[in-house]
Structure 1
């Protein structure tokens, strides 16, 4: 370690201290003070020419546009009840042959399946008996008319024959109606085979019965046939939004299965009944589904648009929250701004309606106005 002469220590320390002080000069001696970013003059905020805020603040002119309140609600895809048939056999029996299977396309009148049914055989038997009784009653009536005309029989015999004929005719019509209801022929001796046909065109969307199985539940469908070229979207609209929804109104639909894709629909029905538990009303929207992309059970989001009106609109980024107040900075002179309290209305995307406090034509800070909020 080097030894320093004590006589030289004090001058050396003074030299080092002076050097340190010369390297840490006072701000007033080394440069000018930075310019203020904002200058406040009462309620006015002025941005000087040298302020960096001039590069950050984005200005825009307030405009007036058509504004419509959007009402988004959840929905689910449903088959049109008017074009969906649950094929329930009116008789019990064994399924003989399935002529259509799940997913098959069918036309109205196509045979769906056959059944070997004792009920059908009984219906044919009843029809045959009724026809035979009717024939016998008719012959007896004709004979009684001839006897009465020759004054051989009593009048009461003719009246009885007429009554028997009327009853036989009624029973014959009943048996024919029963066969017609089954879709079977009216002749006797039709056997036990019953063929059930599709009442509409569409697709088999559900199949519950199997070939050779016995079916005795006349309340359960063997299969379901539906025409899905048009489907319904069932939406639940809140009570407070009900006044803005009406039949014939257009609706924008976005399905969970196809995010970002929008489909147009039209309101076909607004329920007359309010659900007391959810305080919502069912609204059905008809949607063209000829391409078959919409499947019953899919979830979707439906947006209804209320009747449009003219309103003052600003970007959402122009709004600055100051405590409980919503404000917009309005340019009163070149690069001079004043905070103005506004009341907002409808929010639509990145645009907000100003219900009060601002008029069209004013220049405002459209972005980064929070930098002025001290």
Structure 2
């Protein structure tokens, strides 16, 4: 029987390893991977075999028309010149609602009627004033006749003239008040007040109900608006104001209708800067005959300045180095040099270069950051 001797195994293992030229060690080789870049001063060379040659993309800076694009948030608003909050000038009970929410109205249409004690009082005052004027006129005529016959004193005539003037003034005042409430001395129910629409449009808000008592002369019973044209109000930052002007065409995309664009025209640029937001309100008139735009809707408004010729590069060509913006310019085949540039208009994937680069110059258009220190 063969017995296992651990001492023999210990001695045999080094001999076995020596026979196979080392145990557990990879064979040494003189091959080294190529350098990714070779730097010599400001020059950066990408040698043959560098993996960067598969990543870097080189293109020429182009010259084309550049238009500054200013996207800002906006909100749809009703034109205040075509919106009326119908507030009754008197308190009373709403007797009849003649128009309801969503109804179309024309200028002069009756909206609702009210049974009002204020209207009754105005009618009563006008009637009394008219009776007083009639009495004062008769008295004046009588005093003129008596004075002509030298029967009455001159002061009596003067008194009659004064009383007539006061009665005439009071009559005119009371009739004006009654007319303001839509009433006349000799027509209609002396207690009923009819409120009519001052413009054509639609009833977009209704707060009162038929039979209800309305005593708040500062709150509207209903709101009538003509929404065939609406305003889109945008908040433009102070630094962008020079590129926005009245008459400018604006592109509008509503949050409610993504992907659909509407053209509008700037009607007004605000005169006052908001000190908190550093923005100015710009109002864009938008046609809304189809009624799709609802006051309160949010939108994205894009203003475009006048186009000009400029040098543009892909945004991916820009490399930030500290506080400077750089591009890598090709000085020879696969040899580059960093150059500081100043940027202008950012328009999607393209960026205008204001200084530091000429059209036609070949640059690293993509992955230039791999050359950065």
TM-score, normalised to structure 1, is: 0.84
Residue in 2 that maps onto 1:242: 241
Displacement of 1:63 after TM fit? 1.8
Aligned-pair CA distance for 1:54: 4.6
Map residues 194-205 of structure 1 onto 2, 5 A cutoff: 194-205=193-204
Residue in 2 that maps onto 1:340: 339
What is the DSSP-based 3-state SS (H/G/I as helix, E as strand, rest coil) of the residue aligned with 1:94? strand
Q: Secondary structure at the match of 2:219?
A: coil
Question: 2:276 maps to which residue?
Answer: 277
Please give the alpha-carbon distance, in whole angstroms, between the structure 2 residues aligned to 1:2 and 1:342.
85
Partner residue, 1:158: 157
Alpha-carbon distance, 1:331 to partner: 2.3
Q: How many residues are aligned here?
A: 370
Q: Note closer, same or farther for the CA distance 1:246–1:3 as it changes in structure 2 (3 Å cut).
A: farther
SS of corresponding position for 1:359: coil
Question: Hey, what does 2:120 align to over in structure 1?
Answer: 121
Q: Secondary structure at the match of 2:162?
A: helix
Alignment of 1:97-136 (within 5 A): 97-136=96-135
Distance in 2 of aligned mates of 1:151 and 1:170: 29
| Structure 1 residue 71 corresponds to structure 2 residue 70 | yes
**Aligned CA-pair RMSD:** 3.4
Q: CA deviation at 1:99?
A: 1.2
Structure 2 residue aligned with 1:17, among 6, 16, 20?
20
Aligned counterpart, 1:172: 171
Equivalent in the alignment of 2:138: 139
In the TM superposition, what is the alpha-carbon distance from 1:25 to its structure 2 partner? 6.3
1:327 aligns with 2:330: no
Counterpart of 2:184 in 1: which secondary structure?
Answer: coil
Q: 1:221-260, CA deviations, whole angstroms, 9 ceiling, x for partnerless residues?
A: 1111111222223333333433443333333333332333
SS state at 1:276 partner:
coil
Question: What do the CA deviations read for 1:192-239 (whole angstroms, capped 9, x no partner)?
Answer: 122111111111111111111111111111111111222223333333
SS at structure 1 position matched to 2:175:
helix
Question: Within 2, Cα distance between the matches of 1:162 and 1:188?
Answer: 30
Unaligned 5+ segments in structure 1 are: none
- Per-residue deviation at 1:308? 4.0
TM-score normalized with structure 2 length: 0.84
